[in-house]
Structure 1
Amino acid sequence: MTKENFLVEIGTEELPPKILRYLAETFEKNFISELKNASLTYQEIRWFATPRRLALFVRQLTLIQPDRKIIKYGPTIRAAFNKNGTPTQAAISWARSCDINVENANYLETHKGQRLVFCAKQSGQKTALLLPEIISTSIKKLTNLKQMRWGESNLQFIRPVHTVTLILGDTLLPVNIFGIFSSRIIQGHRFMGESSLTINHADNYLKVLSEKGKVQADYSLRKKIIIANATAIAERIEGFADLQEDLLEEVTSLVEWPVILMAKFNKKFLKIPTEALVHTMVDHQKYFPVYNKKGTLLPYFIFVSNIESSNPQNIILGNEKVIQARLEDAAFFFHKDCQHHLDDYLPRLKSVLFQKNLGNLLDKTYRIKKLSGWVAKQINSNIQNATRAGLLAKCDLMTHMVREFTETQGIMGMHYARRQGETEEVAIALMEQYKPRFSGDSIPSNPTSCALAIADKIDTIVGIFGISKHPTGDKDPFALRRSALGVLRIIIEKKLPIDLQSLTEESIKLYDKRLSNANTAEDIINFFFGRLSSWYQEIGYKNDVIKAVLACHPTRPIDFHTRIEAVTYFCSMKHSMRLSAAHRRISSILNQSKEILNHNVYHSLLYEKEEIQLDTRIQTIKTSLNLFLIEERYQDALIALTPLHKDIEQFFSKVLVNTKRKELRINRLTLLNQLKNLFLQIADLSLLK
């Protein structure tokens, strides 16, 4: 037999549920890499993971490593021997690394001349001898995560290791990992089935675990069981379970034998805002909320137990008692908060530090209020709504509900604003001020929300840059990159006429004398340009197109977007690269020149037919081009410029720019400079490739 199935399992204490899939997939990835390095082939690899184990099952693994031809190149003959023909130290060291004497080396003719070469055939080793080291290396590569020690050993892993099992077919492979010798004994379920199981053959792994150990090691199968059963149970009451992917993954990682049950809570709690109830169920208890077909929350929840009980009602009652206590707390906090208006919490913001050099949250609130109004004016929105939203933006942070359930910030602000009679647009803005929270998140829905979200984010960016706490490398403690991208997304996706330079300068003024960085505005604009570049590359725009547009320093994001679209279209046109090449040549000539150019071209100094023709074409195009630029019709502007490539090519073929006559030379350079400036009103086409 030349192939056999292989099993490796590492039995541990409970592994972190939020990274269980990552651990298993990374273990598999590392193992595949090591097999490739060893030239070992296989038919299929499957990973398994439960809270107490990581495992790999390899189908049809080659039992013997193939023979390998080893070729080691040495120094050239000139470097290998001195004038007397004696081997140099370089040759001796190389020969020693090959375990031969220099005189036993072969010679190979190369383009650099003859050089020493060693050729040998290395017989393949048995896979059983290679696997222990392969597994050890694969596990060690998981150590970029937080490690821990246990017992008296200095060995470290993510969690304490109890068992190690390596079985090739029916053969147990001797290996010591984490100070534990490989054994056929693995752990069953902690509370059901047999706690200690024996694996006689790699093929029996899943069957033994499932039938005797009450452990479903197949992660994807556990997940499917949870989805199917939760869906079926919810349908019994004509509802549907909200199986959020993140929670589904976490719950799958928390159990070894999923048992899906449904419980209920008192209907009186439905008077509490739905978001607070859902947060309590999902984030605190890992329950799945249940909704009716209209999307209204029902007084039920679905949970996943890790025990198959003969009396599941006891488990249900236990979970109902837990959620009852949590919801009683939420109800108490909610009713207590409702006794006050959001405005009442405003003075308390003074006790919360925003940043030690930038003041407290009350200071930030007053800046946001003014800046929200300024943004609203720029986008022709309701200034009164924007300033009101800015004033109330952070008040819910001081409420009992948000202090207990921090993830509901903004959401509770919206509900409390509605209860005290604020306009719906203001209430929604309090909830949407943090959007977009992450990549792919939705942006604020109404103008007031947009004004508040932009003001809040730019205030943070300006403040942190203003005290020279710029993001560095992978360190961005104030999430400025995310905030900047959020500002850009809102402006571009909502097509808002906001200029980043003006926005930044307005925010700087509101900080008065708190900022110490004299280059704050410049640093922030460059930071925004960097985020624009990264974002547009991620969504598929070419890097040279982005650079061509950024060279014109467009500080209105919507203007940047329009230019990018236009230049991308331009690149698809037939003669675009010829015009780009012409621009590149013009830039090169002008960069090499030290001449002081005229403000205008002197037509009386245009002698050659080709330079007269080029000047005439420029003057003709200018009229229509100015109209296109005023209306920001950059695509039409580039189409209008495209025919110029013929006139430019004829100009360069017939006209000597660097003529000895100074007045002619300067006039021709001025003509080229005018042409270059025409291009630069849209993009630096010379950067296109």
Structure 2
Amino acid sequence: MDALLIEIGTEELPPRSLRALAQAFGEHLRRGLADAGLTEADAPLAVFASPRRLAAQVANVRPQAADRPAERRGPALKAAYDADGQPTRALLGFAQSCGVDVSALETLETNKGAWLVYRHTQAGERLTDALPRLFDAAVKALPIERRMRWGDGEHGEFVRPVHWLLALHGADVVDFTRFGLSSGRATRGHRFHHPQPLDITDAARYAEQLMGAHVVADFAARRQRVADCVREAAAALGGQAVLESALLDEVTALVEWPVAVSGGFDADFLAVPAPVLIAAMGAHQKYFHVVDDEPRLLAHFITVANIDSPEPQRVRAGNERVLRARLADARYFWDTDRQRPLIERSAALDGVVYEQRLGTLADKTLRVERLAGLLAGELGADAAHTVRAARLAKADLLTHMVGEFPELQGVMGAYYAQHDGEPAAVCAAIREHYLPRHAGDALPPSERVTVA
């Protein structure tokens, strides 16, 4: 039995959902094939995902499902014959619908009476007949929040416009039409390194042939390649790259042929808090930051290009120019925000609605402040520090920095509080009070945060 390969070629897919889309497509396709008797439920499955394609490869797919016994129940025996023992219209109609004579029907005894049934062998469904239906079901089941229409809208919906459709069973094309396209064996290689169409000779050689066209189709293999080339580039700079998992996944979903390019920025920017620089590099630019053995942030970054450029210095210069502007903005926010004490911003929270029925953030702050003070006294925590932390906890939401980098709420509040001379315990409580941010995250160690 040969492998079945289905590839949907598209415009650039959303990076954050790419891997989940490919996995869902493959699993739904395999389940449909198994339900149709064309493969086993545990048949080996390989999924492929890159910015321009979703693909699934299911092993051991039959060209036709096995024949199976089938039984079709007709009228009850007592309603099948009249008083003279002649077939009734109900019985004759049932036999005619089955395409057989009444004599070909059998009697089925049940605890609810006897019935006439037609038993026969049903031919197994052919893959060529089943695949269009199974493909539609797999596409419909994908976790796509918003589906797109393109052109005149008559070719269906998908997460992005579809430009080609590949369907192979072994070396044979499985013909069907979807999205206004006929399936075939042609795919596309890398947009720049191999722009011409590429014919896949056999479903089993898909990943191998795409690799020759400068596309690492397997997401996990491409992710490892990204990690390896980023580590190597950081080592050449005398540092270590910090490979945060979510960023690594996103970068992997943005490239088909990853090539690491190192760059640097003015060391003067290191005066800005490291979390800000890291957010500017990672969240905004999709760069990996570099640290030394301490680990202290270094004035370097690693970006991953989707092309093996003959002029990497131009790629480096372009990325450095973009990052320089980002960091200049961040330094401006840092300098500007520190000109106004955090406590002054707390009063302005009365202009920020928390929830329509619960008032503003200033109202919430006052409630938390009062409750925290009472609980701190009961639990033996430092009441003054606890109340002060509650008063300042949300004030950084009104800073320029948190407006630009919302993920730094709490973190920047701690930096600004430290600059204002607040006690270290208060600064720590401001930083920690959002913990845990997600399942499995660390709990706040400070007793003042536990109280609040």
TM-score after normalising by structure 1: 0.62
What CA distance in whole angstroms lies between the structure 2 residues aligned with 1:246 and 1:143? Answer: 19
Quote the residue 2:179 is aligned against: 178
**Contact 1:425–1:449 under 8 Å retained in 2:** no
**Contact 1:143–1:157 under 8 Å retained in 2:** no
Quote the residue 2:292 is aligned against: 292
What CA distance in whole angstroms lies between the structure 2 residues aligned with 1:165 and 1:146? Answer: 24
Quote the residue 2:307 is aligned against: 307
Quote the residue 2:158 is aligned against: 157
Which secondary structure does the structure 2 equivalent of 1:164 belong to? strand
Instruction: Provide, for residues 509-532 of structure 1, a one-character-per-residue CA deviation record: whole Å limited to 9, x for no partner.
Output: xxxxxxxxxxxxxxxxxxxxxxxx
1:51 equivalent in alignment to 2:51: yes
Which secondary structure does the structure 2 equivalent of 1:254 belong to? coil
What CA distance in whole angstroms lies between the structure 2 residues aligned with 1:339 and 1:84? Answer: 106
Quote the residue 2:16 is aligned against: 18
What CA distance in whole angstroms lies between the structure 1 residues aligned with 2:364 and 2:280? Answer: 30
Shift of the 128–262 alpha-carbon distance from structure 1 to 2, 3 Å rule, reads same
What's the offset of the Cα at 1:104? 4.2
**Contact 2:37–2:66 under 8 Å retained in 1:** yes
Shift of the 72–325 alpha-carbon distance from structure 1 to 2, 3 Å rule, reads same
Which secondary structure does the structure 2 equivalent of 1:149 belong to? coil
Quote the residue 2:202 is aligned against: 201
AA matched with 1:116: L
What's the offset of the Cα at 1:388? 0.6
AA matched with 1:36: A
What CA distance in whole angstroms lies between the structure 2 residues aligned with 1:326 and 1:237? Answer: 22
Quote the residue 1:119 is aligned against: 119
Instruction: Map 1:376-415; keep pairs closer than 5 Å.
Output: 376-415=376-415
Quote the residue 1:230 is aligned against: 230
Instruction: Provide, for residues 607-640 of structure 1, a one-character-per-residue CA deviation record: whole Å limited to 9, x for no partner.
Output: xxxxxxxxxxxxxxxxxxxxxxxxxxxxxxxxxx
What's the offset of the Cα at 1:98? 5.1
Instruction: Map 1:143-154; keep pairs closer than 5 Å.
Output: 144-154=144-154
Quote the residue 2:110 is aligned against: 110
What CA distance in whole angstroms lies between the structure 1 residues aligned with 2:91 and 2:18? Answer: 51
Which secondary structure does the structure 1 equivalent of 2:308 belong to? coil
What CA distance in whole angstroms lies between the structure 2 residues aligned with 1:72 and 1:107? Answer: 11
1:189 equivalent in alignment to 2:190: yes
1:420 equivalent in alignment to 2:398: no
Shift of the 192–380 alpha-carbon distance from structure 1 to 2, 3 Å rule, reads same
1:276 equivalent in alignment to 2:286: no
Quote the residue 2:266 is aligned against: 266
What CA distance in whole angstroms lies between the structure 1 residues aligned with 2:167 and 2:366? Answer: 64
Instruction: Map 1:506-655; keep pairs closer than 5 Å.
Output: none
CA RMSD of aligned residues (A): 2.4
What CA distance in whole angstroms lies between the structure 1 residues aligned with 2:166 and 2:64? Answer: 21
What's the offset of the Cα at 1:20? 0.6
Shift of the 347–282 alpha-carbon distance from structure 1 to 2, 3 Å rule, reads same
Quote the residue 2:446 is aligned against: 446
What's the offset of the Cα at 1:333? 0.4
Which secondary structure does the structure 2 equivalent of 1:298 belong to? strand
Quote the residue 1:339 is aligned against: 339
Quote the residue 1:27 is aligned against: 25
Shift of the 337–92 alpha-carbon distance from structure 1 to 2, 3 Å rule, reads farther
What's the offset of the Cα at 1:428? 1.1
Of 28, 36, 52, the residue aligned with 2:34 is 36
What's the offset of the Cα at 1:36? 0.7
Which secondary structure does the structure 2 equivalent of 1:364 belong to? helix
Instruction: Map 1:459-478; keep pairs closer than 5 Å.
Output: none
Instruction: Provide, for residues 440-467 of structure 1, a one-character-per-residue CA deviation record: whole Å limited to 9, x for no partner.
Output: 1111111101122xxxxxxxxxxxxxxx
Instruction: Provide, for residues 15-71 of structure 1, a one-character-per-residue CA deviation record: whole Å limited to 9, x for no partner.
Output: 111011111101110111111111112653311111001112233422232111112
What's the offset of the Cα at 1:78? 5.1
What's the offset of the Cα at 1:79? 6.7
What CA distance in whole angstroms lies between the structure 1 residues aligned with 2:146 and 2:89? Answer: 46
Which secondary structure does the structure 2 equivalent of 1:107 belong to? strand
Residues paired across the two proteins, number: 449
Instruction: Map 1:132-143; keep pairs closer than 5 Å.
Output: 132-142=132-142
Q: Which has the higher helix share?
A: 1
What CA distance in whole angstroms lies between the structure 2 residues aligned with 1:87 and 1:440? Answer: 71
Shift of the 83–417 alpha-carbon distance from structure 1 to 2, 3 Å rule, reads farther
AA matched with 1:226: V
Quote the residue 2:369 is aligned against: 369
TM-score after normalising by structure 2: 0.92
What CA distance in whole angstroms lies between the structure 2 residues aligned with 1:69 and 1:347? Answer: 78
AA matched with 1:390: A
Which secondary structure does the structure 1 equivalent of 2:253 belong to? helix
Shift of the 98–435 alpha-carbon distance from structure 1 to 2, 3 Å rule, reads farther
**Contact 2:189–2:214 under 8 Å retained in 1:** yes
Quote the residue 2:437 is aligned against: 437
Shift of the 83–352 alpha-carbon distance from structure 1 to 2, 3 Å rule, reads farther
What CA distance in whole angstroms lies between the structure 2 residues aligned with 1:33 and 1:9? Answer: 17
AA matched with 1:15: L
Instruction: Provide, for residues 337-384 of structure 1, a one-character-per-residue CA deviation record: whole Å limited to 9, x for no partner.
Output: 111211111222121111223222212211111111122223221111
What CA distance in whole angstroms lies between the structure 1 residues aligned with 2:269 and 2:224? Answer: 31
What CA distance in whole angstroms lies between the structure 2 residues aligned with 1:191 and 1:352? Answer: 49
Q: Percent identity?
A: 39
Which secondary structure does the structure 1 equivalent of 2:117 belong to? strand
Q: Which has the higher strand share?
A: 2
Quote the residue 2:323 is aligned against: 323
Shift of the 149–143 alpha-carbon distance from structure 1 to 2, 3 Å rule, reads farther
AA matched with 1:322: V
AA matched with 2:110: T
What CA distance in whole angstroms lies between the structure 2 residues aligned with 1:75 and 1:440? Answer: 60
Which secondary structure does the structure 2 equivalent of 1:225 belong to? helix
What CA distance in whole angstroms lies between the structure 1 residues aligned with 2:364 and 2:91? Answer: 71
**Contact 2:18–2:253 under 8 Å retained in 1:** yes
Instruction: Provide, for residues 125-179 of structure 1, a one-character-per-residue CA deviation record: whole Å limited to 9, x for no partner.
Output: 4333433332233223226531010001331111000001112233222210111
What's the offset of the Cα at 1:417? 1.0
What's the offset of the Cα at 1:74? 5.0
What CA distance in whole angstroms lies between the structure 2 residues aligned with 1:357 and 1:45? Answer: 51
What CA distance in whole angstroms lies between the structure 2 residues aligned with 1:50 and 1:349? Answer: 44
Shift of the 291–109 alpha-carbon distance from structure 1 to 2, 3 Å rule, reads same
AA matched with 1:4: D
What CA distance in whole angstroms lies between the structure 1 residues aligned with 2:419 and 2:90? Answer: 84
What CA distance in whole angstroms lies between the structure 2 residues aligned with 1:113 and 1:183? Answer: 54
Higher relative contact order (CA 8 A, sep 6+): 2
AA matched with 1:245: S
Which secondary structure does the structure 2 equivalent of 1:189 belong to? coil
Which secondary structure does the structure 1 equivalent of 2:354 belong to? strand
What CA distance in whole angstroms lies between the structure 1 residues aligned with 2:150 and 2:143? Answer: 15
Shift of the 77–204 alpha-carbon distance from structure 1 to 2, 3 Å rule, reads same
